[in-house]
């Protein structure tokens, strides 16, 4: 679908629901109200597009009749996965709809395997991935003997299955679950590994990183619109911390010019975002119009400056966002739609 030069490009703003929610959805009552307003300010005609398995036909018809789709749907929500949605998004993209983020892009940057693929980019750590139970059984105990580790399922969201593991004497392991019960336990390492081996196949592997001792100093969330920084969030996280560290704090948002994070901004825009895109064979112009990269503070460098260790990228359903982010993502989308209406030279196409 290509917008008429005399009409405002039409944008479907997608979130999960059901047929009943779809029937009453409106921009004014949506949690994405600020994003609808920003899209309107950029000259884009946005409308709700609620997706549910019980209203797939209506959703598909709507999506095939717009110019662009912006998607806020988690990989797993109340036990439901988004395979049906992804199939429709791929179909719409093939028909000419600009889909952000495209399922193929989300598969590359939203899975935890990206931490392993990009480990040498400058934001990495001693990261490994276990694709089979056999490699997990053979290699994880050796790495755990060097210090605490954090295991993460390759696919998932909301901290499900993420856990720091610390080796204990006598072949035991102390485990804290980021989400779930029991939150903390000590058990034989072999038993713990058997449990995780059962989960490994369903999640597409396990990613293993060293535990970052500066966890209590907080996490920095760097919001991106395409390859440009759209803002930051800073939070004292406690999901992976010991109970005695106390409760976590609220995430405090700021714009892209926050002086505390200009070094991180420069690295993201000049090196890390384009470097990741190159490693994953994704044109920068196809990066989601809104995503975020979560960083923990690593060891200080030789000059005493903070280093940053990537712990995940969120690209499926990034919300809430800093106040500055809706305008940034609307600008990025309008820019991309305009580029589709403008002839591009072969050199510009290669450089995009």
pLDDT at position 247 over 90: no
For residues 86 and 193, membership in a common domain is answered with no
Question: Domain end: 184, 207, 230, which one?
Answer: 207
Beta bridge partners of 253: 233
- The first and second tokens of residue 192, run together, are 């713990």
| Residues 171 and 279 reside in one and the same domain | no
How large is the angle between the packed helices 83-94 and 56-63, nearest 10 degrees?
30
pLDDT, tens digit (0-9, with 9 covering 90-100), for 96-133: 999 998 999 999 999 999 999 999 999 999 999 999 99
Among 20-29, 73-82, 119-128, 225-234, the minimum mean pLDDT is found in 73-82
Domain match, 235 and 314 both: yes
* Per-residue pLDDT tens over the stretch 169-211: 999 999 998 876 667 899 999 999 999 998 888 888 999 999 9
Judge whether 330 lies within some domain. Answer: no
Distance (Å, rounded) from C-alpha 158 to C-alpha 75?
10
- Residue 346 confidence (pLDDT) above 50: no
- 246 and 113 in a common domain: yes
Q: Which phi and psi (to 5°) does residue 226 adopt? A: 65, -125
**Residues 316 and 261 grouped into a single domain:** yes
Instruction: Give the domain extent around 280.
Output: 108-123+214-321
């Amino acid at each position: 679908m290509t917008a008429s030069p005399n009409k405002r490009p039409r944008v479907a703003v997608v979130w999960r629901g059901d047929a009943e929610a779809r029937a009453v959805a409106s921009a004014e009552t949506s949690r994405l109200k600020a994003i609808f307003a920003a899209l309107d300010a950029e000259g884009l005609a946005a409308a709700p597009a609620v997706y549910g398995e019980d209203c797939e036909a209506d959703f598909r018809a709507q999506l095939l009749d717009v110019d662009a789709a912006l998607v806020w749907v988690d990989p797993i929500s109340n036990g439901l996965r988004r395979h049906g949605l992804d199939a429709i998004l791929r179909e719409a993209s093939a028909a000419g709809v600009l889909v952000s983020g495209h399922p193929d892009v989300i598969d590359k940057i939203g899975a935890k395997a990206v931490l392993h693929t990009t480990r040498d980019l400058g934001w990495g750590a001693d990261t490994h991935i276990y694709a089979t139970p056999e490699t997990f059984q053979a290699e994880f105990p050796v790495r755990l003997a060097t210090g605490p580790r954090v295991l993460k399922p390759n696919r998932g969201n909301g901290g499900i299955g993420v856990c720091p593991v610390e080796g204990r004497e006598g072949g035991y392991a102390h485990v804290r679950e980021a989400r779930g019960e029991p939150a903390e336990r000590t058990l034989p390492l072999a038993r713990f590994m058997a449990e995780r081996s059962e989960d490994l196949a369903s999640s597409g592997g396990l990613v293993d990183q060293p535990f970052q001792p500066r966890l209590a100093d907080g996490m920095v969330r760097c919001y991106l619109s395409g390859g440009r920084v759209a803002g930051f969030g800073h939070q004292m996280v406690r999901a992976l911390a010991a109970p005695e560290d106390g409760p976590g704090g609220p995430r405090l948002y700021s714009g892209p010019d926050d002086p505390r994070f200009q070094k991180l901004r420069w690295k993201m825009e000049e090196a890390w975002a384009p470097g990741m895109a190159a490693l994953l064979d994704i044109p920068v112009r196809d990066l989601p119009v809104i995503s975020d990269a979560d960083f923990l503070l690593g060891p200080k460098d030789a000059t005493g400056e903070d280093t940053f260790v990537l712990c995940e990228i969120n690209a499926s359903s990034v919300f809430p966002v800093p106040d500055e982010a809706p305008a940034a993502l609307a600008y990025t989308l309008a820019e991309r739609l305009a580029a589709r209406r403008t002839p591009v030279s072969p050199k510009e196409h290669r450089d995009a």
